[in-house]
Structure 1
Amino acid sequence: MKINWNFFAMGVLLFTVIGLYIFANHRNNRRHIEKVNISFIGDQNFYLSHEGVQNLLIQKLGNLENLPKEKLVLNAVEKLIESNEMVKKAHVYLTIKGELRAKIEQRKPIGRVEGVAKYYVDEDGKRMPLSNNHSARVPLVTGNVTEQSLGDVHDIITFVNRDDFLKKNVIGIHVTEDLNYLLKFRMDNFVVDLGRTEEMPKKFNNFKAFYSKAYKDKTLSQYSRVSLEFNNQVVCTKI
């Protein structure tokens, strides 16, 4: 019988490669974690410290340095970090050199509710606890804040943050008992009555047209209330 030496050589080579891979993988798993590296991504890195994450890992998992890599479950570490109320998302992985890296995205507050309960509302419309490390410069929300009105507040602030003029000037939102929304502006004494949240683009465009003209005429200081409640109208109340 004629032996196909090329086929035989390929089989030996494949067997050798698989064996080396299994050996390297086994040896790699038995290596210990040399270092834990924690980093934050994005522009909201104020509410949770590196030390806070380190302490959380040590309290729940012990000291990870010198721990055999094969004993570490990366998904469990990610879920542990994400259990912190300041964390939006965590990505944890191991490098070839045995370094455990955790990249953390913190939640982003867009409004601060002041009432019996004090908390932030984040960019996803969810409640977020205040931080001992940093106080966010976001619009203050007061009044009748319920689950329904909190959703409206999120929609209003999200809209405001997309507009340079509004984002610069809106510093507060008050929710009335009948769920109308009153906006407080930074440099002006009047209150803007938005009414309900329907037709926000049209209402704010009308307001900016009014504001531009009143600013040019130097009459802004004459008003105590500017109502946008009715479509296509800006109704002003003088002082």
Structure 2
Amino acid sequence: MKVNWNYIKAFALLVLVVFLYSFSSARNKKRNIERIEVHFTNDENLYVTEAAVNKLLIQNQDSVQNLAKDILDLKVIENRLDTNEMIEDAEVYLTVNGRLGAVITQRRPIARVYGNESYYIDVNGKSMPLSTNFSARVPFIKNIEKENIAEVYPLVAKIEKDEFLKEHITLIKRNSKGEYVLEMRLYDFEILFGEANSIEKKINNLKAFYKKALLDDQLDAYKWVNLKFENQVVCTKKG
């Protein structure tokens, strides 16, 4: 009977590969975590610190030194990070050389509510707690409750995306009629925006008024600018 050495060699090679993989995998699992690496998207760690992320990565551990890799559950750690009120998304990974890493995307505020309760409204239209580490330079909102967030959010989102509005609008107030009043950074007239509807048209009317009043050097002459009417801007002069 002729022996097929090619089959024997292939089988022996397969056994060797499986053995080496199993040995390497077992050895890798027993390897200790050497250090933590935290990366923030856009290189910003404004609202949650790297130290705070480290504590969430290894909860109830003073140090990662001599902590075996096989006792870590990356999904549990990732979920723990995702529940942090300042974090929008987290991805946790473990490298073969013993580094535990996390890529953190923080929530981004676009307005700040102040009153009996102070908090941010984030880019997704949800309430977000203030941070002890950093204060965002965003417009303030006055006289709203959390049930009003969905109502005011389209207006706030428009201000955040529009360079002209982002530069000039500093305060949004909700009056007893459910209408919104805007205040500007450089001028003391108030803008009666009305309800948070027809936003694009009202903003275009505001820009047209601003351009004309700036050209005529009349921006300081007005007390009120009313955008409530469909196709016109009604202005009230001082005095």
Category of TM-score, reference length = shorter chain = over 0.9
Instruction: Give the Å deviation of 1:11.
Output: 2.3
Q: Which consecutive residues of structure 1, in runs of 5 or more, have no partner in the other structure?
A: none
Distance 2:159 2:43 in 1: 19
Distance 2:184 2:146 in 1: 23
Distance 2:195 2:182 in 1: 12
Give the alignment's Cα RMSD to 1 decimal. 1.7
Q: Indicate conservation of the 8 Å contact 1:109/1:121, yes or no.
A: yes
- Secondary structure (helix, strand or coil) at the match of 2:33 reads coil
- Secondary structure (helix, strand or coil) at the match of 2:223 reads strand
Matches within 5 A, 1:28-177: 28-42=28-42, 44-147=44-147, 149-177=148-176
Distance 1:108 1:43 in 2: 13
Distance 2:93 2:137 in 1: 33
- Secondary structure (helix, strand or coil) at the match of 2:25 reads helix
Measured at CA, do residues 140 and 57 of structure 1 come closer, stay the same or move farther in structure 2, by a change above 3 Å? same
TM-score normalised by length of structure 1? 0.93
Matches within 5 A, 1:183-198: 183-198=182-197
Q: Which consecutive residues of structure 2, in runs of 5 or more, have no partner in the other structure?
A: none
Distance 2:195 2:6 in 1: 79
Structure 1 equivalent of residue 222 of structure 2: 223
For 2:23, the aligned partner's letter is F
Instruction: Give the Å deviation of 1:62.
Output: 4.9
Instruction: Give the Å deviation of 1:233.
Output: 1.6
- Secondary structure (helix, strand or coil) at the match of 1:218 reads coil
For 1:188, the aligned partner's letter is Y
For 2:198, the aligned partner's letter is E
- Secondary structure (helix, strand or coil) at the match of 1:102 reads strand
Q: Indicate conservation of the 8 Å contact 1:181/1:193, yes or no.
A: yes
Instruction: Give the Å deviation of 1:90.
Output: 1.2
Instruction: Give the Å deviation of 1:15.
Output: 2.1
Q: Indicate conservation of the 8 Å contact 1:107/1:122, yes or no.
A: yes
Distance 2:101 2:85 in 1: 20
TM-score normalised by length of structure 2? 0.93
Q: Indicate conservation of the 8 Å contact 1:86/1:128, yes or no.
A: yes
Structure 2 equivalent of residue 234 of structure 1: 233
Instruction: Give the Å deviation of 1:44.
Output: 4.3
Distance 2:84 2:213 in 1: 48
The superposition leaves residues 205-228 of structure 1 with CA deviations (integer Å, 9 ceiling, x where unpaired) of: 111011100110011112111111
Instruction: Give the Å deviation of 1:177.
Output: 2.1
Instruction: Give the Å deviation of 1:53.
Output: 2.2
Distance 1:146 1:97 in 2: 47
**Identical residues among aligned pairs (%):** 42
Instruction: Give the Å deviation of 1:32.
Output: 0.6
The superposition leaves residues 14-38 of structure 1 with CA deviations (integer Å, 9 ceiling, x where unpaired) of: 2221221111111100111011122
Distance 2:88 2:188 in 1: 37
- Secondary structure (helix, strand or coil) at the match of 1:39 reads strand
For 2:125, the aligned partner's letter is G
